[in-house]
Structure 1
Amino acid sequence: MDLNNIQRVYFVGIGGIGMSAIARFFNEKGVHVSGYDRTETGLTRQLTKEGMRIHYSEDITLIDKDVQLVVYTPAIPSIHEELKWYKANNYEVVKRSDVLQEITREMFAVTVGGTHGKTTTSTLIAHILRDSGYGCNAFLGGISANYNQNFWSSDRNVAVIEADEYDRSFLKLHPDIAVLTAMDADHLDIYGTEEEVQDAFVQYSANIKPNGTLVARLGLQRAADLKGDNKLWYHLQDNKAGVYAANIKLEDGGYRFDVIKKDWTLHDIHLPIGGTHNIENTVAAVAVAHLLGIGDDKIKAAIADFKGIRRRFEYLIRNDYQVYIDDYAHHPEELRALISSARELFPGKKCTVIFQPHLYTRTRDFADGFAESLSLADEVLLLPIYPARELPIEGVSSEMIAAKITKVPVQVIEKENVQDWLKSHNVPLFITAGAGDIDQFREPVQEILNGERIITNEN
């Protein structure tokens, strides 16, 4: 696959966050880009404005038959009519990860993998490189609030890539610097066991180019098995790590801290986004920026200007009386970090969480963990499971989680009843969380909280 000699490319599932980043990559190179997605979204509308042709019905009469390359996402079923037609007619049909594989071969590649934290860490690294003037091509799994983009280009032959472990896609990447944030059990519908998940992350580290560097969180399971000619361990505050944070102070919904390395210290960093887990993500990003030779003042200035990522501890309302945070959290560990950080930043405020479980298999496999993490809130509302690519599993529902939450009030609520519930309850600290379509509540919730009923000092 020669990415430089493609004039026309078609995407099956162009509206996915990872797919759209690659579509934008080709589009900026002057390639004719078209594609299919199941539903129109704000993101697909933006792609259309950028010049891409998109349709929303599975119809081979609408596809581009003059393309040199067809890219599809693993979320697309093998029986998809368009995908079947392209394969039957001997087009070059590849997965999204195959394109990223070629990019990592052609460029100096910084990849960020892990079951949690990879979107924030990769976006912050890419932001530091862009803001400092160093430059990079960024392929991200979220929308950067600074640039309203999940992709940007640069003349510098450097790529920052979020490495997605779903479907083992990240095992095709060949990084020069590989960041590894976490290797907890997830995607057990793909991997089967936690050990298989860990095996995949070990292989991810083995794909680092010769003389490359692994930047990994201290304390990972199977740490002794991880590869890389050079290793740098990072941590939130453990001084046994090669790089860590110290002197952490809360400041206006964010933090101020130092990053300490054996032979170097970066003093007085201001991180304006919430979540103690994001301090640790910042430590990893700072380590990468330092490895690339970016100056201290430029690193600090970039972090101070970092506005975060859409749906990653995103403040939608923040004032003296009420706080509304929206987050993509869909794993028990992500929920634990989200809720505990919010409570630390806004002590004394009653914390209400509305959570939409994502996938029947994940709900089945982690119901106990979900219940334990959600119990950190004062009140919990559960939406029905968002199935995504899955069919229902008998006996698996949001009620499974609700039954295991015994310490705080909990109820399962239908989506159409959420707004009425909100209008009759005080929610000084309100969190929406999940990877499904719960983001559809963002604007209605803001309107309700900013509208007729103003939260008082009541906690």
Structure 2
Amino acid sequence: MKLDKLHSVYFLGIGGIGMSAIARWFKHVGIPVFGYDRTPSPLTRKLEVEGMMITYEDSLDTIPDQIKSDKENVLIVWTPAIPKDNVQLQFFQSGDYDLKKRSEVLGMITHSMYTVGVAGTHGKTTTSSMVAHMLKSAGKNIAAFLGGLTQNYESNLILHDEETEEKPVVVVEADEFDRSFLRLHPNVAVVTSVDADHLDIYGDAQELTRNFEKYIGLLPEDGVLIIQKNALKKLNRNDFGSLTVLEYGLGEGAIRAENIKAGIASFEFDYISTEKVIKDLVLKVPGFHNVENALSAVTIALHFGIEEKAIREGLESFRGVKRRFEIKRQDDKGVYIDDYAHHPEEIKAFLGSVKAMYPEKKLTAIFQPHLFTRTRDFADGFSEALSIADEVILLDIYPARELPIEGVNAAMLMDKINSAEKSLQSKEGLMDFLDQKRPEVLVTLGAGDIDRLVDPINNMIASWD
């Protein structure tokens, strides 16, 4: 299909963060955009304000006539997060429509651009957003398709300048879910981590690793691989042919961070490599894991010839991504931080950094597990990671695309959590519970609908005497 021949595009699951970025791109190039999602959200409301027509009813009657009437020039974009019994999905699948997954369309859009693909089971959203901001702030002509809403641009899409003669560079978050990243065409590939995840898709950790190796295999002969040191160790290959391979990590590796200073408002560190040393870099998005993410972003900036001054300015002006170590409050009422962490390794990195920032204060963590299969597969890891907090509050599992699994619930994590205080709470009773406790340092964690509680919690804290 030639994208310039389309008269309209219909998105199944348009409210997804990756889907909405592509929807915005089509709207930008002048193609009418329609879509369906299960429930309204702040993001879908923004899309509607931008001129997209969205329905929240899974019915054939809500599909616009222009979608039904001209199959040849309509593109249906769908996400595997849509249930198989979805009425609209079944209609399009049985009606000779051209259906493509989000990753296929992203590959079509970016195939002719010089592409930086950022992959990894953790850290890819922050890293890709950091890369995009550093390049753009340094004056590079870039486009970016991101998996989160950047605080600098209030969007998950950055559009390149079509008027300049400089060929654009596209920065893409390369998602391993459903093997989506294998549809891309990277010239530079970042791999931030290769930890077991999405076992409902891959079956086991070895198969996940094999697919990361396939992703690396998409690089051209003169391609560049920038890979975190532990991720490199997990790969089943040592020979990368003519690829340029750059390994990075905290404290060790060819590219490393040294002299890390953990502050409340920022982290400082030195960037050290065999080719370049940049001292006293300032990152105003806290977290040791974000320092590690910054190593790959600085390396990419150097790859594109960005000067040291611009690198410093770009890194220091990076404001982060919504729901990634997002400090909602830090005042006399208390500290409140929200994060998307939904895997044991992410939780461990996040809580460890918060502890380093506030070593003398009691840390209370609210966690909403995401998916029954992930909770089952990593139950011991979740319990161990959450035990970093002084108090743990567990909410019920957010099922997303899954049906319940007998015997799998949030309570199964409780016994092995070693925190001094721990409890199970309902979303309905959480606010009253917090109002009585009034924690010193509070964090919310999870990839489900816990984000709907963030503003109410913050507003409640603001009301405390």
TM bucket (normalised to shorter chain) is over 0.9
Match of 1:256 in 2: 268
Match of 2:128 in 1: 122
Which of 372, 384, 387 aligns to 1:375? It is 387
Task: State the distance in 1 between where 2:301 and 2:149 align.
Answer: 21
Task: Tell me the CA shift for residue 403 of structure 1.
Answer: 1.9
Which of 90, 93, 96 aligns to 2:102? It is 96
Alignment deviations for residues 256-297 of structure 1 (CA, whole Å, 9 cap, x no partner): 122112121222211011111000000011111111112211
User: Could you tell me whether the CA contact under 8 Å between 1:422 and 1:448 is conserved in 2?
Assistant: no
Counterpart residue type for residue 255 of structure 1: F
Task: Tell me the CA shift for residue 407 of structure 1.
Answer: 4.2
Alignment deviations for residues 132-175 of structure 1 (CA, whole Å, 9 cap, x no partner): 11021111111101111000110342211111111111111120
Task: State the distance in 2 between where 1:433 and 1:305 align.
Answer: 25
Match of 2:164 in 1: none
Which of 365, 379, 399 aligns to 1:387? It is 399
Alignment deviations for residues 418-451 of structure 1 (CA, whole Å, 9 cap, x no partner): 1001111131110000000111111111112111
User: Could you tell me whether the CA contact under 8 Å between 1:371 and 1:402 is conserved in 2?
Assistant: yes
Task: Tell me the CA shift for residue 52 of structure 1.
Answer: 0.8
User: Could you tell me whether the CA contact under 8 Å between 2:333 and 2:462 is conserved in 1?
Assistant: no
Structure 2 residue 428 is the aligned partner of structure 1 residue 416:
yes
SS at match of 2:227: strand
Task: Tell me the CA shift for residue 33 of structure 1.
Answer: 0.8
Give matches, 1:27-426, under 5 Å: 27-63=27-63, 64-65=67-68, 66=70, 67-155=73-161, 156-220=167-231, 221-223=233-235, 225=237, 227=240, 229-238=243-252, 241-319=253-331, 322-426=334-438
Task: Tell me the CA shift for residue 321 of structure 1.
Answer: 5.7
SS at match of 1:333: helix
- Structure 1 window deviating more from structure 2 (403-412 vs 296-305): it is 403-412
Task: Tell me the CA shift for residue 408 of structure 1.
Answer: 2.5
Which of 452, 456, 460 aligns to 1:440? It is 452
The CA RMSD measured in Å over matched residues stands at 1.4
Inter-CA distance 403–170: structure 2 relative to 1 (3 Å threshold)? same
List alignment gaps of at least 5 residues for structure 2.
162-166
- Percent identity of equivalent pairs: 47
List alignment gaps of at least 5 residues for structure 1.
455-459
Counterpart residue type for residue 183 of structure 1: V
Inter-CA distance 266–369: structure 2 relative to 1 (3 Å threshold)? same
Inter-CA distance 20–431: structure 2 relative to 1 (3 Å threshold)? same
User: Could you tell me whether the CA contact under 8 Å between 2:261 and 2:269 is conserved in 1?
Assistant: yes
SS at match of 2:15: coil
User: Could you tell me whether the CA contact under 8 Å between 2:262 and 2:356 is conserved in 1?
Assistant: no
User: Could you tell me whether the CA contact under 8 Å between 1:25 and 1:152 is conserved in 2?
Assistant: no
SS at match of 1:61: helix
Counterpart residue type for residue 442 of structure 2: F
Task: State the distance in 2 between where 1:76 and 1:400 align.
Answer: 28
- Structure 1 window deviating more from structure 2 (172-181 vs 401-410): it is 401-410
SS at match of 2:145: strand
Counterpart residue type for residue 276 of structure 2: W
Task: Tell me the CA shift for residue 224 of structure 1.
Answer: 5.3
Counterpart residue type for residue 29 of structure 2: K
TM-score where L is the length of structure 2: 0.94
Inter-CA distance 22–12: structure 2 relative to 1 (3 Å threshold)? same
User: Could you tell me whether the CA contact under 8 Å between 2:119 and 2:176 is conserved in 1?
Assistant: yes
Task: State the distance in 2 between where 1:4 and 1:298 align.
Answer: 37
Task: State the distance in 1 between where 2:122 and 2:60 align.
Answer: 38
Task: State the distance in 2 between where 1:290 and 1:109 align.
Answer: 16
Task: State the distance in 2 between where 1:185 and 1:329 align.
Answer: 15
Counterpart residue type for residue 258 of structure 1: D
Counterpart residue type for residue 126 of structure 1: A
User: Could you tell me whether the CA contact under 8 Å between 2:8 and 2:75 is conserved in 1?
Assistant: yes
Task: Tell me the CA shift for residue 196 of structure 1.
Answer: 0.9
Task: State the distance in 1 between where 2:412 and 2:274 align.
Answer: 47
Match of 1:25 in 2: 25
SS at match of 1:225: coil
Task: Tell me the CA shift for residue 89 of structure 1.
Answer: 2.3
User: Could you tell me whether the CA contact under 8 Å between 2:36 and 2:54 is conserved in 1?
Assistant: yes
SS at match of 1:424: helix
Task: State the distance in 2 between where 1:335 and 1:68 align.
Answer: 42
Task: State the distance in 2 between where 1:403 and 1:393 align.
Answer: 19
Task: State the distance in 2 between where 1:349 and 1:253 align.
Answer: 16
SS at match of 2:318: coil
Task: State the distance in 2 between where 1:84 and 1:407 align.
Answer: 47
User: Could you tell me whether the CA contact under 8 Å between 2:264 and 2:358 is conserved in 1?
Assistant: no
Task: State the distance in 1 between where 2:406 and 2:462 align.
Answer: 40
- Structure 1 window deviating more from structure 2 (149-158 vs 344-353): it is 149-158
Task: State the distance in 2 between where 1:112 and 1:416 align.
Answer: 38
Counterpart residue type for residue 205 of structure 2: E
Task: State the distance in 1 between where 2:31 and 2:112 align.
Answer: 18
SS at match of 1:416: helix
